[in-house]
């Protein structure tokens, strides 16, 4: 890792592991007697432990949101926005990023051992809802000695977790930052997820989900699922600009016999193969179903205004113009519901040609909106500490 890579970076970080001994009863009714969480922290807690921010990852994210691991030149998935002086400023906040249960980066999930059987969970790992992730995160919060989050922040599925936090534990967060998200998936999104799952299950090496026990892996099916998903995360404009109809190999000349491959084909094949080497198929199926099941207002007769009536925090909602997977109209639905519920909400509509992935990528206006909002949050925390000091 070069010195230039560390500029405005967290620098080298190491994941931490904790075993939660308190039983966790999931929404499906199954109880986990204990579960493991892997997480990273950036920055320091302030004098009254009030400056903690929770980062919630999306479908394929992990605990490694910022900085670098020893021997790895790739930064965390949100390194553009987390660090000293960045939008989520580690010099002012104590930032917690965890790998949620059901995922495959060290926390309890399909690839881990079921403590009750001593065997790999595999496809038998219980189904999950967003509220299960919130409850597991609450246990980590207590483990770290944090009583209230200054903010819970997430994009896509991460934004769904932030909204769920505001309803499940309204007294435990001051701000919810909801980025490129929705109160529930559209039928089209559910359809994309089902096609991806079918691709995985159609792989002969899927073995009805028991591939780990048989020392196999449905790499081809998982790669296809990722390729499909990746196309939906990009915009037509971005793919046209980046790849167009450029050829990776071959020629349209009748004198040549080399097979033709477009640049976009090569790119998608690379992304699919790379993903299948690092992610678990059962986790992918589990979490996409979790996305499908999410409906913020289900418990409130489908009324989002009634649902948000329970929230006590302030909200920042951000959307991206070219995001057709979680379109700006879905963010505006959140904003309208919050306004109707009488909540304090700010909304930033960001122009971008990067599609759904825009929430992960550099964008000056996006950065400014997020940074200015969180700077006001930090200023408020500093003022509160100063006021308490003056009183004593």
The answer to whether 87 and 370 have CB atoms below 8 angstroms apart is yes
Q: DSSP string of 155-184?
A: ETHHHHHHHHHHHHSGGGBSEEEEES--SB
Kindly name the residue from 79, 89, 323, 357 that is annotated as catalytic.
323
Say whether 323 is catalytic: yes
Q: Is 107 exposed, middle or buried (0-12, 13-18, 19+ CB in 10 A)?
A: buried
How many other C-beta atoms lie within 10 A of the C-beta of residue 24? 18
The answer to whether 93 and 51 have CB atoms below 8 angstroms apart is yes
Q: Which residues contact 269 (CB under 8 A, 6 or more apart)?
A: 223, 227
How many other C-beta atoms lie within 10 A of the C-beta of residue 160? 28
DSSP 127: P
Q: Which residue has the tokens 């499909």?
A: 228
Rounded Cα distance between 28 and 250, Å, is 52
Q: Dump strand ranges (E) for 14-159.
A: 16-20, 24-25, 31-32, 35-42, 52-56, 82-83, 88-89, 94-99, 151-155
Say whether 283 is catalytic: no
DSSP 102: T
Rg, the chain, Cα only = 22
Write b or e for each residue in 166-197: b if 16 or more Cβ atoms lie within 10 A of its Cβ, otherwise e. Answer: bbbbeebbbbbbbbbbbbbbeeebbebbeebb
Kindly name the residue from 90, 112, 156, 235 that is annotated as catalytic.
156
Say whether 143 is catalytic: no
Which candidate, 329, 320, 284, places its Cα nearest to that of 103?
A: 284
Show which residues are catalytic.
156, 323, 356
């Amino acid at each position: 890792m070069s010195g230039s890579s560390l500029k405005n970076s967290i620098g080298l970080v190491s994941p931490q592991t904790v075993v939660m001994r308190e039983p966790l009863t999931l929404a499906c009714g199954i109880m986990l007697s204990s579960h493991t969480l892997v997480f990273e922290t950036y920055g320091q807690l302030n004098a009254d432990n009030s400056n903690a921010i929770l980062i919630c990852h999306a479908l394929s994210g992990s605990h490694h949101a910022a900085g670098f691991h020893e021997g790895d030149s790739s930064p965390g998935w949100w390194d553009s926005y987390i660090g000293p002086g960045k939008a989520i400023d580690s010099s002012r906040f104590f930032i917690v990023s965890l790998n949620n249960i059901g995922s495959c980066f060290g926390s309890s999930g399909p690839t881990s051992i079921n403590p009750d059987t001593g065997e790999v969970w595999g496809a038998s790992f219980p189904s999950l809802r967003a509220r299960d992730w919130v409850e597991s995160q609450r246990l980590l919060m207590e483990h770290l000695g944090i009583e209230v989050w200054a903010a819970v922040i997430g994009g896509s599925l991460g934004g769904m977790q932030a909204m769920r936090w505001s309803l499940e534990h309204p007294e435990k967060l001051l701000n919810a930052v909801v980025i490129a998200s929705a109160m529930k998936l559209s039928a089209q999104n559910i359809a994309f997820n089902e096609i991806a799952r079918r691709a995985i299950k159609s792989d002969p090496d899927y073995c009805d989900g028991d591939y780990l026990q048989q020392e196999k892996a449905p790499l081809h099916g998982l790669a296809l699922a990722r390729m499909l998903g990746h196309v939906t995360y990009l915009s037509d404009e971005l793919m046209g600009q980046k790849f167009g109809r450029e050829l990776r190999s071959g020629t349209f000349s009748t004198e040549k016999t080399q097979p033709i491959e477009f640049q976009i084909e090569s790119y998608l094949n690379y992304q699919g193969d790379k993903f299948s080497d690092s992610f678990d198929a059962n986790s992918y199926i589990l979490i996409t179903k979790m996305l499908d099941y999410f409906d913020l207002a289900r418990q409130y007769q489908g009324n989002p205004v009634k649902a948000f009536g329970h929230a006590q925090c302030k909200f920042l909602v951000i959307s991206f113009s070219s995001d057709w997977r979680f379109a700006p109209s879905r963010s505006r639905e959140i904003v309208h519901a919050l306004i109707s519920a009488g909540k304090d909400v700010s909304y930033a509509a960001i122009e971008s040609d990067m599609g759904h992935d825009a929430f992960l990528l550099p964008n000056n206006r996006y950065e400014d909106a997020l940074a200015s909002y969180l700077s006001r949050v930090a200023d408020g925390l500093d003022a509160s500490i100063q006021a308490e000091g003056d009183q004593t």
